[in-house]
A and B are shown apart, each in its own frame.
Chain A
Amino acid sequence: MNTTTNDKIKVARWIAWIAAGFSLMVAFLLIANFVQIHLNDPIDNKTIPALIKRLSQDSGDESLKAEIRAFDLMARKAYFTSQWQLRTGSYLLLLGVIISILSVRYILSAKSKLNDIDPVEKINGLDQLVAQKWVIYVGSGLIVIALASGFLSYNSLKEYMVNENLVVQEEKPAEASTPNIQTQAETPADLPNSNGGAPSATTGDNATVAENTAPTQAPANSAVAVPAASAPAVAVPAGFPTMAELKTNYPFFRGAQGNGVAAQKNTPTDWNAAADKNVIWKVKVPKAGFSSPIIWGTQLFVTGADAQARVVYCYDKNTGKLLWEASADNIEGSPAKMPKVTGDTGLAAPTMATDGRAVFAIFATGDVIALDMSGKRLWARNLGVPDNHYGHGSSLIVYKDKLLIQYDTNKSGKLIALSTQTGATAWETVRSSKISWSSPILVNTGSRTELILTTNPNVNGYDPQTGKELWNIACLSGEVGPSAGYADGMVFAANEYAKLVGIKIGGTPEIAWEADEFLPEVSSPLAVNGLLYVATTYGVFACYDAKTGTKNWSQEYGDGFYSSPIYADGKVYITDIAGKTHIVKATKDYQLIGIPELGEKAVCSPVFQDGRVYLRGINQLYCLGTK
């Protein structure tokens, strides 16, 4: 059979039409698929989150779990089916379009190789003139559009920056006219909103202008805390806590003043957690941390952290029930990548602090978070990731309405006071210090309250109200971990490979005595009843005469000490890293009361409350005492 060109063209035309029709149909189906997916996206299915929410209320509902799984499988199937349809449809459409185009091109080339375009009438000179005119019109139009959009556009960044500068400029005259920094910084009404920055203040020769940073204010309806059970409503008292309140509770690392002296009575001396003897309760804290517990009322707080989350846990101190937990997340400036820390410091080494109105926590990321007693976030901010080769370890302490933070890093040394209500920087004092891990203690010298810090090379006293340095004595060296001890007008500081010093403060502070036989690396000295106790990493627990520095006794144990000795009810408690707590009478002579065991390793210091001792082991948190 001879086929003519016309026959071929006819066939090609049919093919072109069929291919075009097929392509149109596939295109229509693809669009329908696209619309369907957009209207009802299986990935964004609302049913599954609703079911998961229901499951959170009743986590044991197996039929609900099965229903969720079935829905999830269905959503996945729907998604992948639609993806398959899209992909297959695309291939089919492409094929159809190619066939139709090839057919049309064949028809055109079969008809003639020469396909003239549809011309427009051309008049050379006139075309040039018309083109010039249009180029001028369009060029001018472009310029007008550019100018108009420039004039109409609003540069919010510039305004923000100008406003930021205005905050600083407005504050300067206020500082000059009102040297009382306390008034400016302490009145919440004076604080600008979260976008306007925080008030700053200078605090003497060593002080700097506070950073113009403000914390992230959680929205009013934002409940950050995840209630683990129905948390009881917590009554929040007004004003600042009294010393009696502080002593009744256990608000800071090493007690109400941070010096290791607990006011509690009837403290237990006999337990064995491994044998479940006198264990009132024990719980596993979900995330690891070396922070010691703090207690206010019936609530006990600890922190835990890993690379995924930094969390505050609140337990019922009587039952060990987890009341709530709150994550320190979504904090502006918080690093995406966790800072490098060593295993024995971790991301949650600092102990929290509370004033009974709020609880405060800091993590190795530099994140500071304030929560109310029911776990709702009050504020949070990042102080800048501390350059700390072990990890930030200094615990928090509260003085009146200020949260006091030692922030000695490899880059600089700082003592920072944040408003407990807003998190705004109240003052910030630059310290002439190297990096250290010691925690602040608050002592009443009789005439004033001082915040005392140890570092390399200084032991410093500060006014906790203003951050002004009151005194300093250079006597330490190395990487200072132990915090100061204090009793009867004397400050005690020590560090391994440095020395142990007794400093008489009041008037002109001076070193009263020095010793160097037993020096702690991590554990802080405890001064009480005219005695000074130090515990070393290599397992020696020693007692000195606090006034003279004469050694009364020393005992070498098998395991070293990271935790600090705590005085309670005429006894001194010191827990070694094996979890054995050595209890001695707080007397000049060595009188061992007992060595109760936790049954696991421990580096945290014991906490006392209501005739019970709370101890955090490496894995579990214990409440110990007579049941």
Chain B
Amino acid sequence: MRQLKQTILLISILLFTVVQSFAADAKQRFPKPEFDTGYAHPQTTAPSARLLFLEYMDILVLLVVLSLVTWFVLKKRSRNGVFWTSVFSLLYFGFYREGCICSIGSIQNVVLGIFDPTYAIPLTALLFFLLPLLFALFFGRVFCGGACPLGAIQDMVAIKPIELPKWIQKVLGLIPYLYLGLALLYVATKSEFIICRYDPFVGFFRLDAPFNMLVLGVLFLVVGVFVARPYCRFFCPYGVLLGWMSKFSSKHMTITPSACIQCKLCANSCPFGVIDEPVVETGKRRSNVNRLMTYFVILPLWIGIGGFAGSMMHVPLSRFNETVYMAEQIVENPEVKNDPDNIDVRTFMSSGKSTEQLVIEADAIRHQFYIGGWILGGFMGLVIGTSLIGLSTFRKREDWEPNKTNCLSCARCMDYCPVGATLGERPDLKSKIVNR
């Protein structure tokens, strides 16, 4: 057995070395400066593009991980299995692949592929976008449970989680929609991949990040000790799409393997607060219905006002576009054109474009932001309106169930369920039952 392990280890090391040697293919990027001092130029190298088969391997790994997590969640009902798979994902997609490629960021590739006819979306990016959604549509958010490196790193530090009041969860839960909308807007206007730029954890994976992003990452992890997975729950734009898919999942995980015995042992098991308790309608039915009807009626108002407000934001929002930023910089401070240290302006000055051309281009982009602002604002109005409708809708529920939209399929709650468990092998569960 020991010999087998050593052989596997040796083969792994050899394979890794061979794979790495491909990447060290040398390329001359810039012409060498001409020295007349007899200086011997060192051989400069640049990494070549990642080999295609390695990209396909990434897809394969993702597929295997998703399948494995699904199996652990639905068949084995094993939190340990999910946990260790997520550790693998953290090591592979996080530290080895340095956070790229990632399903969260792939939203931007897909949207760019739609809006920019010159951009051909890589197959890897497309599949990284589609596969987790497909799994979510059938099995729930298994990607969040064990395949997402961002989720895994936060899961590691969720040591002392507390439950947040519902209103905080609901309010913070609006942020991912806004983030998603902004991300799409900036990609559709070919401005920026903000999801990647403001990824708080990629700096850890690469051991290199701007200071502010490093601070942000540390903050997320520190907060994550008490508020489990803050990025996943309150920021992740991909989580929005996964939630939409997961809502319709037919084979979503359940807390109990069979009928719920209403033991309530799982009530405080979920660090993400996504276990829906049994519900009975409270308050006067008529006033509840009236409130619901009111929210339905004002829904178009939310959309309209939101759209208008979003369109008003087009000027500040567009400043993140580098063309608009440059145009404003030159128009408002024409003296920057003579600033030898302003590299951006120097680049523009030697680009062959005139200020007039730049301003016209920037204005066209700003107009795109105006249209996009209407759509983004309208979308946020819709989100707020439907959130209110959702909060005033009562669906009778008798059991403790994971919320299909928000459940991250981490499988923690399953350990709390005594149904089908052999209590002799689970002293912790047994003592919990006894201490109830």
Contact = CB atoms under 8 A, between A and B. Distances in A.
A213 B349 contact: no
Chain B contact residues: helix, strand, loop or mixed: helix
Interface string B137-169: 000000000000000000011011111111111
B166 A135 contact: no
Interface string A76-106: 0000000000010011001000000100110
Contact of B337 (A127, A138, A156, A216): A216
Contact of B327 (A90, A157, A331): A157
Nearest to B311: A150
B362 A132 contact: no
A122 interface: yes
A112 B171 contact: no
A142 interface: yes
Interface string B412-424: 0001100000000
A119 B316 contact: no
Nearest to B429: A114
A64 interface: no
B269 A146 contact: no
Contacts of B168: 134
B361 to A, nearest CB: 10
Interface residues of B, number: 86
Contact of B415 (A114, A135, A151): A114
Given A87-B207, A334-B349, A135 B174 contact: yes
A332 interface: yes
Interface string A134-145: 111011001100
B366 A114 contact: no
A336 interface: yes
Could you say which interface size class chain A belongs to?
A: 35 or more
A128 interface: yes
B313 A155 contact: no
B368 interface: no
A154 B228 CA distance: 41
A153 B347 CA distance: 27
B170 interface: yes
A242 interface: no
Interface stretch (A158-166, A469-477, A548-556): A158-166
A119 B266 CA distance: 12
A330 B432 CA distance: 75
A119 B211 contact: no
A146 B302 contact: no
Nearest to A154: B315
A131 interface: yes
B309 A150 contact: yes
Interface string B354-379: 11100110110010000000000100
Main secondary structure of the interface of A (DSSP, over half): helix
A184 B4 CA distance: 93
Contacts of A119: 163, 267-268
B388 interface: yes
Contact of A135 (B164, B311, B338, B384): B384
A118 B267 CA distance: 11
B428 A194 contact: no
B334 A124 contact: no
A219 B335 contact: yes
A212 B359 CA distance: 14
A621 interface: no
A94 B207 contact: yes
B13 interface: no
B167 A127 contact: yes
Contacts of B431: 112
A334 B426 CA distance: 76
A114 B432 contact: yes
Given A131-B170, A156-B332, A90 B207 contact: yes
Nearest to B291: A132
A349 to B, nearest CB: 20
A120 B332 CA distance: 52
Interface string B171-184: 10010001000000
B282 A160 contact: no
Interface in B184-217: 204, 207-208, 211
A335 interface: yes
Contact of B167 (A133, A146, A335): A133
A280 interface: no
B41 interface: no
A275 interface: no
Given A101-B156, A113-B415, A218 B338 contact: yes
Given A101-B156, A122-B166, A138-B171, A160 B337 contact: no
B313 A150 contact: yes
B331 interface: yes
A122 to B, nearest CB: 7
Contact of A117 (B268, B302, B310): B268
Interface string B384-421: 10011001100000000000000000000001100000
Given A117-B269, A216-B337, 6 more contacts: A114-B432, A128-B391, A128-B392, A142-B174, A142-B380, A157-B363
Nearest first, the 6 closest Cβ-Cβ pairs linking A and B are A150-B312, A125-B282, A146-B309, A139-B384, A335-B352, A153-B315
24 contacts: A34-B211, A101-B156, A114-B432, A117-B162, A120-B163, A120-B165, A122-B166, A125-B281, A125-B283, A130-B165, A131-B166, A131-B171, A134-B167, A134-B170, A134-B171, A153-B316, A154-B315, A156-B331, A157-B362, A157-B366, A161-B359, A218-B338, A332-B355, A335-B352
Interface of B: 156-157, 159-171, 174, 178, 204, 207-208, 211, 228, 267-271, 277, 279-283, 291, 302, 305-306, 308-316, 324, 327-328, 331-332, 334-335, 337-338, 340, 346-347, 349-356, 359-360, 362-363, 366, 377, 380-381, 384, 387-388, 391-392, 415-416, 426, 428-429, 431-432
